[in-house]
Amino acid sequence: MSILVVDVGTSSVRASVVRPDVTVAAEHQRPLLPDSPEPGLVEFDAQALATAAVEVASAALAVGGPVEAVRIANQRASSILWDRATGEPVGPAIGWQDLRTVGDCLVLRGEGLRLAPNQSATKLKWLLDKYDLGRERDLCFGTVDTWIAWTLSGGTVHVTDLTNAAVTGLVDPTGSAWDDAVLANLAIPPSILPTIVDSSGPVGEASALDGAPPICGLVGDQQGSLIGQGCVAPGPAKITFGTGGMLDMVVGQDRPPFETRGAGGTFPIVAWRVGGVPTWGLEAIMLSAGTNVEWLRDDLGLIATAEESYAVATSVPSTDGVLYVPALLGLGTPHWDYGARGTLLGVTRGTNRGHVVRAVLEGVAHRGADLVEAAETDSGQPIDHLRIDGGMSRNPFFVQALADAAQRPVQVSPVVEATTLGAAFLAGLSTGIWSGWDDVAATWRPVEAVEPGSPLDRDRWKQAVERAKAWYPELSGIDF
């Protein structure tokens, strides 16, 4: 039997039916962009999100159903508060990129509590302070997985899995339960929090859909992509090149030996929890990946479409000495410099648009290699090849540049968004479609494997990064 996957991203909602042979059918998608009412604020309409999720899920079922189970994958750490009795959202939902609580995080850090503004914790406190200052209302809190499960179940399921709970900032260091000390510090009533469940296993029925198929688990989008690319044991790593770029890898059942970030700038994640036992991983982040291609297209007008970047980059044999550091939003792993900015170096009178476009794609590739080096440092494990998905994985020049920068083979996912496959695997493990992790690993069949060629100049790249750092020193001094 097939699996219905509802995947809620930052800018769209998608539902797909995944067959036992790992083909994706009956995909339906709706764009749903967040709002930015003021600089630094990112909000979205939770009710519109719920409506869209039911609509695309119903449409996918109508074409590809029936299914054995429903699986939810989602953007992580976005925060929603709603009335338990009516199911109506209380105020706007706050997106994971929202920065309204930066000041709160700095104050809390001075008090010894380290939270980041992209986590849910201070977002939830902000919502409670604004809409329930006395903490008197009967409310429910959830990240997007929780909200969609509540919606599909008709308001009977209030749960989250550990891959989502662990990035809220509200889970204790063992990764097993909500942290009472943090809740007390932020005046968050425990009663509003969802129950933490395994990433795989039935949690209720999707009564809002025809046939009321069981909801068989939840997973954060990057963990779903990790599983979808068969990275289910220590060794391989994946990078998703979307708007930003995220490297994830499995390290095992022992939590990495650092609380927030390791020496290489990665941080611990829960890759999944099955049978009450969490499997841990590491994550490394570049803050802008595909955003740089959008900049070339929408702001500079150097390309008409993202796809054209391939032809323009290959119209010249090299960048002719031009280097680009993709720090439009600062630098993430390993530098964590929010004051760094995008930097174009080596420009001469002979520089043309081909050199610039090629330099931008090579710059993102260099950042991918940075993430690999950081993950190897913090995990102590060699990464002998990379697996990639996301929009940029369809650009042959970029894939080759990544292999050349990292000096490792790069394998390209057969689907652009591997999160869908990973979510289906987790559901299928609980229903018996796949018998274990070895079965999941065996499904990996890259659409392309690219061997490294002549290496990109990493020493010159590191010099360029130093030029990009600390452009706004006051922002560079902020660290979460």
Q: Could you tell me if residue 225 is inside a domain?
A: no
**Cα–Cα distances in Å, from 42 out to 79, 143, 378, 451?**
11, 15, 32, 40
Q: What share of the chain is helix, strand, coil (3-state, %, to 5)?
A: 35, 25, 45
Q: Which domain holds residue 204?
A: 2-212
173 and 266 share one domain:
no
456 and 329 share one domain:
yes
Residue 17 has pLDDT above 80, yes or no: yes
267-274 and 277-286 beta bridge pairing = antiparallel
Tens-digit pLDDT profile for residues 375-385: 999 999 999 99
**pLDDT class for 259, splitting at 50, 70, 90?**
confident
Instruction: Please give the sequence-ordered ranges of beta strands (E in DSSP) within 356-409, or none if there are none.
Output: 386-389
Mean pLDDT of 279-299: 96
Q: Could you tell me if residue 217 is inside a domain?
A: no
Fill in the DSSP letter of residue 392.
G
Do the Cβ atoms of 121 and 169 come closer than 8 Å? yes
Among 240, 14, 11, smallest CA distance to 148 is for 14
**pLDDT class for 446, splitting at 50, 70, 90?**
very high
158 and 277 share one domain:
no
193 and 270 share one domain:
no
**pLDDT class for 315, splitting at 50, 70, 90?**
very high
Residue 97 has pLDDT above 90, yes or no: no
Q: What is the pLDDT of residue 21?
A: 87
Q: Could you tell me if residue 435 is inside a domain?
A: yes
449 and 360 share one domain:
yes
Q: Could you tell me if residue 223 is inside a domain?
A: no
Q: Which residue has the tokens 């209720």?
A: 204
Residue 431 has pLDDT above 90, yes or no: no
Q: Could you tell me if residue 222 is inside a domain?
A: no
Q: What is the pLDDT of residue 340?
A: 96
**pLDDT class for 386, splitting at 50, 70, 90?**
very high
Residue 174 has pLDDT above 80, yes or no: no
264 and 381 share one domain:
yes
- Between residues 409 and 432, the one the model is more confident about: 409
Q: Of 157, 177, 212, which closes a domain?
A: 212
Q: Of 212, 240, 267, which closes a domain?
A: 212
Q: Could you tell me if residue 218 is inside a domain?
A: no
235 and 188 share one domain:
no
Domain with residue 198: its CATH number is 3.30.420.40
Biggest alpha carbon–alpha carbon distance for the chain: 67
Q: What is the pLDDT of residue 33?
A: 86
Q: What is the domain count for the chain?
A: 2
Residue 173 has pLDDT above 80, yes or no: no
274 and 199 share one domain:
no
Mean pLDDT of 56-84: 96
191 and 277 share one domain:
no
Q: What is the pLDDT of residue 281?
A: 96
Mean pLDDT of 23-48: 92
Written as one letter, the residue type at 477 is: G
Do the Cβ atoms of 167 and 77 come closer than 8 Å? yes
Q: Could you tell me if residue 7 is inside a domain?
A: yes
* Number of continuous H segments (helices) and E segments (strands) in the chain: 15, 21
Q: Could you tell me if residue 178 is inside a domain?
A: yes
433 and 386 share one domain:
yes
160 and 244 share one domain:
no
36 and 134 share one domain:
yes
Model pTM? Answer: 0.93
